[in-house]
Amino acid sequence: MRVVLLQIACPDDESPADRGARVLADLRGLGAGEADLVVLPELWRTGYFHFDRYSEDAEELAGPTIGALREVAAGRGLHIVTGSIVERAPGGALHNTTALAGPDGALLGRYRKIHLFGHESAEATLLTAGEDVFVAPTPLGAVGLATCYDLRFPELFRLLVDRGAEVVVVVSAWPLARLEHWELLVRARAVENQVFVVACNAAGRHGGVELAGTSLVVDPWGTVLARAGTGPQVLRAVLDRARLAAVRADFPVLASRRLASPDVGRPRLM
């Protein structure tokens, strides 16, 4: 599987509409056969730290941003993890929502960020948390989705693996101030779950926050297959599905789990 990550900057002086047009042009410019899966970061159109724009920028899942990305997916015959939008749900609630589009333009599903971020962030007060984990079977392997702060919650990733995920795509707007955590957590989630982790971050500065960039593609052994710099960048990697099977067969850690087994009672508290 050839993956392409668009590590996008969201500068304050670029409107969401202009950014949308720029990113669509970049996507349409991808060479034929260059990618099987393209990934965009978290709230790339609005800019994660532009909390004042969340409400005016919110769209339905069937709105123009996801619609345009689905058209590109169909036109180029590739899967796209759309990065997230501020989704206005039918009942009016706002969510941080990422969609997966298939190579025929079909919407294969959507993931609403479960762990909303509240540290120096208004996200947790403006948005409503999702409740459902997301894994979709694709010809490329089973793809699970997670969003940024979710990285700090290993139980979510274990659930994704229990549901068959082979590749977990994490869309992010992770600040530079915690770059060390980002690298550590992306690799840890890959190693402990023996999955590929494709972590696409935003770059540059917006809303007064410097983002980390440093998008990463990590294999199920924890080996970094590709790492971006801190600026805007297109990052490429090739995922070999056989590698996942080999790691799990040669070093079957997941088979040693005790607390998930119905044969093991509740752990005793000492």
Candidates 72, 140, 173, 186: give the one binding ligand AKG (CB under 6 A): 173
Q: Which of 134, 157, 174, 196 binds ligand AKG (CB under 6 A)?
A: 174
Catalytic residue among 10, 87, 113, 123: 113
Is 60 catalytic? The answer is no
Catalytic annotation present for 155: no
Is 113 one of the annotated active-site residues of the chain? yes
State yes or no: residue 157 binds ligand AKG (CB under 6 A).
no
Q: Which of residues 115-144 bind ligand AKG (CB under 6 A)?
A: 117
SS3 of the chain: the string is CEEEEEECECCCCCCHHHHHHHHHHHHHCCCCCCCCEEECCCCCCCCCCCHHHHHHHCECCCCHHHHHHHHHHHHHCCEEEEEEEEEECCCCCEEEEEEEECCCCCEEEEEECCCCCCCCCCHHHHCCCCCCCCEEEECCEEEEEEEHHHHHCHHHHHHHHHCCCCEEEEECCCEHHHHHHHHHHHHHHHHHHCCEEEEECCECEECCEEECCCCEEECCCCCEEEECCCCCEEEEEECCHHHHHHHHHHCCHHHHCCCCCCCCCCCCCC
66 makes contact with ligand AKG (CB under 6 A): no
Report the residue from 22, 28, 163, 178 that binds ligand AKG according to the rule CB under 6 A.
Answer: 178
Of 87, 148, 166, 183, the active-site residue reads 148
Interface map 22-61 toward ligand AKG (x if CB under 6 A): --------------------x-----x-------------
Half-sphere exposure of 49 (CA within 13 A, CB side): 19
Nearer residue to ligand AKG within complex by CB, 83 or 175: 175
Q: Which is nearer to ligand AKG, 22 or 152 (CB)?
A: 152
Q: Least Å distance between CB 41 and ligand AKG?
A: 10
CB of 179 to ligand AKG, least distance (A): 10
In the complex, the residues that contact ligand AKG under the rule CB under 6 A are 42, 48, 117, 148-149, 152, 173-175, 178, 181
Query: Catalytic positions, please?
Result: 42, 113, 148
